[in-house]
């Protein structure tokens, strides 16, 4: 058995900007993505696959809103579990068709967070549809939502984005990996859950950053490599400026220095770099950030940004 790799798929692997979010369109994107993942498996890598769910959970929340007078809306943790199911199904079936001799399984994954996390006092993650100011006031009064004005486009709900502590199903995932299965887990950052004094789990209204959850998953299952696939070829300094420079090999210290300078924006590359740093700091061999179509080259050391201890 070769290197164990947690592959964190960006949103473009499932649904690209301006595409219609039909099942057919998403399946086509997933199949194209899985062709590349299957190639990694064929050369000996053992994969754990995780993925985003932003557009998909947003659509489910919009469906909830449109149908609320006929069907009771589901809470955010249940909506997240729905996306884990249908995106996992798409990836699972695609991998089974490409590698029929291999076992593939999707694990509905809960991720433990601390109910005392400071994120719960400062919700920042926007979710769901846009509302008028009057609708926002009603939601605050009726449901206690935290609502913010979003760049002149209307009002949106924001929820906490707490730090992932551990993967609840890590032992199950490990057992499947020991049988050399291909595992899909922690989709959309996982379902955030808290534990009470009796050890009982319950879902909570929050969204865990998918890259940070991917780093936690990689650490919990003893992965050698965290491979974060996105829509740019590598991490860069001075992004979008005339002196933009791609960074291909970084030490932990160099990456931390660039992060301290504010080079990596919170809404884009920042969480990816933070996830990479966490994984390498907790004992991972290396973390790689690269575009989807250069994953194989990145594992060979000839593409993307590679962060080493």
Identify the active-site residue in 52, 125, 188, 190.
Answer: 125
CA 72/CA 70 separation, integer angstroms? 7
Residues 6+ apart with CB under 8 A from 223: 4, 5, 6, 48, 217, 279, 284
Give the pLDDT means over successive 10-residue stretches in the chain (309 positions).
Answer: 90 85 94 96 97 91 92 95 97 98 98 96 87 92 90 89 98 97 97 97 96 98 97 92 94 94 88 96 96 94 95
Instruction: Say if 81 falls within a structural domain.
Output: yes
Contacts of 81-85 with C-beta under 8 Å, sequence gap 24+, read 81/108, 81/191, 82/57, 83/53, 83/56, 83/57, 83/187, 83/188, 84/53, 84/108, 84/109, 84/187, 84/188, 84/191
Measured distance CA(48)–CA(296) in Å, rounded: 15
Domain that holds residue 175: 4-112+169-308
Residue 225 dihedral angles phi and psi, to the nearest 5°:
-135, 140
Assigned domain for 93 exists: yes
309 noted as active-site residue: no
Q: Which of 53, 88, 214, 272 is catalytic?
A: 272
Catalytic-residue membership of 265: no
Q: Is residue 254 part of a domain?
A: yes
- 146 forms beta bridges with 158
Sign of CA dihedral 256, 260, 263, 264: positive
Alpha-carbon gap, residue 238 to 153, rounded angstroms: 28
- Of the listed 12, 59, 163, 293, which one is catalytic? 12
Does 30 fall in a domain? yes
Domains identified in the chain, total number: 1
Say if 122 falls within a structural domain: no
pLDDT at 20: 87
> What is the structure's pLDDT at 18?
85
- Rounded to the nearest 10 degrees, how much is the dihedral formed by the CA atoms of 299, 84, 75, 149? 40
- Give the burial class of 43: count Cβ atoms within 10 A of its Cβ; 0-12 exposed, 13-18 middle, 19 or more buried: exposed
Give the Cα separation of 162 and 220 in Å (integer): 18
Q: How many CB atoms sit inside 10 A of residue 226's CB?
A: 30
Please name the residue that has the structure tokens 């926002």.
136
Alpha-carbon distance of 69 to 196, in angstroms, equals 33
DSSP for 68-88, written as a single string: TTTSPPPPHHHHHHHHHHHHH
Is 106 within the bounds of a domain? yes
Residue 12 in any domain: the answer is yes
CATH number of the CATH domain containing 299: 3.40.1160.10
Q: Residue 208: name the closest of 73, 55, 54, 19 by CA.
A: 54
Catalytic residue among 210, 284, 286, 304: 210
Angle at 151 (CA atoms; ends 147, 155), nearest 5 degrees: 25
> 143 an active-site residue?
no
* 195 part of the active site: no
In a domain, 163, yes or no: no
Between helix 76-98 and helix 23-42 the angle, nearest 10°, is 60
């Amino acid at each position: 058995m070769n290197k164990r790799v947690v592959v964190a798929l960006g949103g473009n692997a499932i649904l690209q900007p301006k595409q219609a979010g039909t099942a057919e369109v998403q399946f086509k994107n997933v199949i194209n993505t899985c062709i590349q993942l299957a190639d990694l498996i064929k050369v000996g890598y053992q994969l754990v696959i995780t993925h985003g769910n932003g557009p998909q959970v947003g659509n489910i929340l919009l469906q909830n809103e449109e149908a609320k007078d006929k069907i009771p809306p589901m809470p955010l943790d249940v909506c997240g579990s729905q996306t884990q199911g249908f995106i996992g199904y798409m990836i699972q079936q695609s991998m089974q068709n490409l590698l029929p001799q291999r076992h593939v399984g999707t694990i509905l994954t809960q991720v433990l967070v601390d109910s005392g996390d400071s994120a719960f006092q400062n919700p920042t993650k926007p979710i769901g549809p846009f509302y008028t100011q009057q609708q926002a006031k009603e939601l605050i009064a009726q449901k206690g939502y935290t609502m913010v004005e979003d760049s002149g486009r209307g009002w949106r709900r924001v929820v906490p984005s707490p730090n992932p502590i551990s993967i609840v199903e890590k032992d199950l995932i490990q057992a499947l990996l020991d049988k050399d299965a291909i595992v899909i887990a922690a989709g959309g950052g996982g379902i955030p859950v808290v534990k009470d004094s009796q050890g009982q789990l319950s879902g909570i209204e929050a969204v865990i950053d998918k890259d940070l959850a991917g780093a936690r998953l990689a650490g919990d299952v003893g992965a050698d490599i965290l491979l974060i696939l996105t829509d740019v070829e590598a991490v860069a300094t001075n992004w979008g400026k005339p002196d933009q420079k791609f960074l291909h090999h970084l030490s932990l210290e160099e990456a931390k220095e660039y992060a301290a300078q504010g080079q990596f924006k919170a809404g884009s590359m920042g969480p990816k770099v933070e996830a990479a740093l966490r994984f390498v700091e907790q004992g991972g061999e290396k973390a790689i950030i690269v575009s989807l179509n250069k994953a194989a080259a990145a594992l060979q050391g000839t593409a993307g940004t590679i962060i080493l201890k």
